[in-house]
Amino acid sequence: MLTDAFLQDAARRCAIDLIGVTDTAPLADHPYYLDWVARGHAAGMGYLTDHRAHKRADVREILPSAQSVIVAAVLYNAPAQDPHLSRYAWGHDYHEVLRERLEKLVAELPAGYDYRVCVDTVPVLERALARRAGLGWLGKNTCLINQGAGSWFFLGEILTSLPLPPNAQAPPDRCGSCTRCIDACPTDALVPLGDRWELDSRLCISYHTIEAKEPAPEPLREHLGPLVFGCDICQDVCPWNRRAPVTLDPDFQPAHAPPPLDQLALLTEAEFRDRYRHTPLWRTKHRGFLRNVAIAMGNDPQKRYRPALEYLAANADSHVREAAAWALSRDA
Ligand code: SF4
Ligand code: SF4
């Protein structure tokens, strides 16, 4: 059987920062996930609430021959600043980067077994798998936190029929009595549930700037502040990220210096494509991005933004127009 030392070495060669193994037993966290969906806390994310929700109980729904799950983490904590974008979106699209690295890792593993690489495209409960593989605990901010590396990392998995020694014990929860993330969340999106905390996506800025098709409801909009894509607040305040390692990984350094919002508002569809096609921002498409830029300008009313907002108020997309009209009304 392959040893943990072999896997750790292979991970280093493939530019993977953390790696662990778990078995394929059904996940004890799955009933919580179904309850979370039933409470409506997945908001409008159909890929989390449709028939795929049940597949997440057991990775053998995806690869029937699976005997092991290798969970990999790659750090993205680049030393830069961008007030508008969540740091996971600063660099290259992590789906492409992680897939390439995980496929390279598969090439180092014994031939003759089944392998399935998962980077968000396959329904698995990846944080639960990562916890069981020994990579960290699930913080009250619902992120996976590693004691030495914090929470700024991407996760990917390899399901395989190769038998591997699983991690013996999930790391203990080290949140203790801390409530910094809960106190700092501008929209109170981390909600109590017995002795746990869970995310109500309907209130979360990340949901409203990345996933939602409609503009955020008005009472929430002012809390979005300058954020155009994602929100890092509940990770920024986490003490485990205070000394989190910084990565110089070229794939996750910002491709562009952050331009002013009124310049972002003028990006044409072609310019948006050129700039963001291979970054996480592509997910919002041009119209979602402009909608978010309009709301961010509305949260910082300035005379110099008026021409850009008037331009957006005539956009072909009704959500962009509505967000721009709302922003203009804030400067009335
Ligand atoms: S991402 Fe932002 S809005 Fe969502 S829970 Fe964290 S702090 Fe709150
Ligand atoms: S801020 Fe505190 S409570 Fe929240 S995840 Fe970090 S350690 Fe846990």
The DSSP string of 236-264 is: HT-GGGTTPPP---GGGS-SSPPPPHHHH
- For ligand 2, the distance from its centroid to the CA atom of residue 138, given in whole angstroms, is 9
Determine the residue of 204, 224, 235 to mutate for testing ligand 1's pocket, defined as the one with the most ligand atoms within 8 A of the Cβ atom: 204
Residue nearest (by alpha carbon) to ligand 2 atom 1? 238
Q: Label residue 332 by pLDDT band (50, 70, 90).
A: low
Query: What is the per-residue burial (b if ≥16 Cβ within 10 Å, else e) of 146-156?
Result: beebbbbbbbb
- For ligand 1, the distance from its centroid to the CA atom of residue 60, given in whole angstroms, is 32
Q: Which ligand is nearest to the CA of 204?
A: 1
Provide the pLDDT for residue 2.
Answer: 87
Provide the pLDDT for residue 80.
Answer: 83
Provide the pLDDT for residue 257.
Answer: 82
Q: Is 141 in the pocket of ligand 2 (CB under 6 A)?
A: yes
The DSSP string of 170-237 is: PPPP--TT--HHHHH-TT--EEEETTEEEE-GGG-HHIIIII-SSPPPHHHHGGGTT-SB---HHHHT
Task: Determine the Cα–Cα distance for residues 203 and 44; give it in Å rounded to an integer.
Answer: 12
Q: Is 178 in the pocket of ligand 2 (CB under 6 A)?
A: yes
Taking the CA of residue 141 as reference, the ligand 2 atom at the shortest distance is: 5
Residue 276: both structure tokens together: 């963001």
Model confidence over 42-74: pLDDT tens digits? 999 999 999 999 999 999 999 999 999 999 999
Query: Bridge-partner residues for 196, per DSSP?
Result: 193
- Kind plus residue range of the DSSP H or E element containing 120: none
Model confidence over 169-188: pLDDT tens digits? 899 999 999 999 999 999 99
Contact 27, 128 (CB under 8 A): yes
Task: Determine the Cα–Cα distance for residues 11 and 185; give it in Å rounded to an integer.
Answer: 35
Portions of the chain given CATH number 1.25.10: 259-332
Q: Label residue 271 by pLDDT band (50, 70, 90).
A: very high
Answer whether residue 6 shows pLDDT above 70: yes
Provide the pLDDT for residue 266.
Answer: 97
Q: Is 140 in the pocket of ligand 2 (CB under 6 A)?
A: yes
Determine the residue of 240, 241, 243 to mutate for testing ligand 2's pocket, defined as the one with the most ligand atoms within 8 A of the Cβ atom: 240
Residue nearest (by alpha carbon) to ligand 2 atom 4? 181
Dmax over Cα atoms in the chain, in whole Å? 69
- Kind plus residue range of the DSSP H or E element containing 97: helix 94-108
Q: Is 286 in the pocket of ligand 2 (CB under 6 A)?
A: no
Helix, strand, coil abundance in the chain, percent, nearest 5: 40, 10, 45
The DSSP string of 57-93 is: T-GGGT-TT--EEEEEEEE---S---SSB-GGGSSS-
Residue nearest (by alpha carbon) to ligand 2 atom 2? 178
Q: Give catalytic status of residue 300 as yes or no.
A: no
Q: Is 238 in the pocket of ligand 2 (CB under 6 A)?
A: yes
May I ask the CATH architecture of the domain 4-160? 3-Layer(aba) Sandwich (3.40)
In this structure, the residues whose C-beta lies within 6 A of any atom of ligand 1 are 141, 185, 187, 189-190, 199, 204-206, 231, 233-234
Domain 259-332 CATH assignment equals 1.10.287:
no
Residue 241 C-beta-side C-alpha neighbours within 13 Å: 21
Portions of the chain given CATH number 3.40.109: 4-160
Answer whether residue 32 shows pLDDT above 90: yes
Find, among 122, 16, 150, 12, the residue nearest to 62 by Cα: 122
Contact 200, 193 (CB under 8 A): no
Model confidence over 71-106: pLDDT tens digits? 999 999 999 889 999 999 999 999 999 999 999 999
Model confidence over 118-131: pLDDT tens digits? 999 899 999 999 99
Task: Determine the Cα–Cα distance for residues 277 and 217; give it in Å rounded to an integer.
Answer: 28
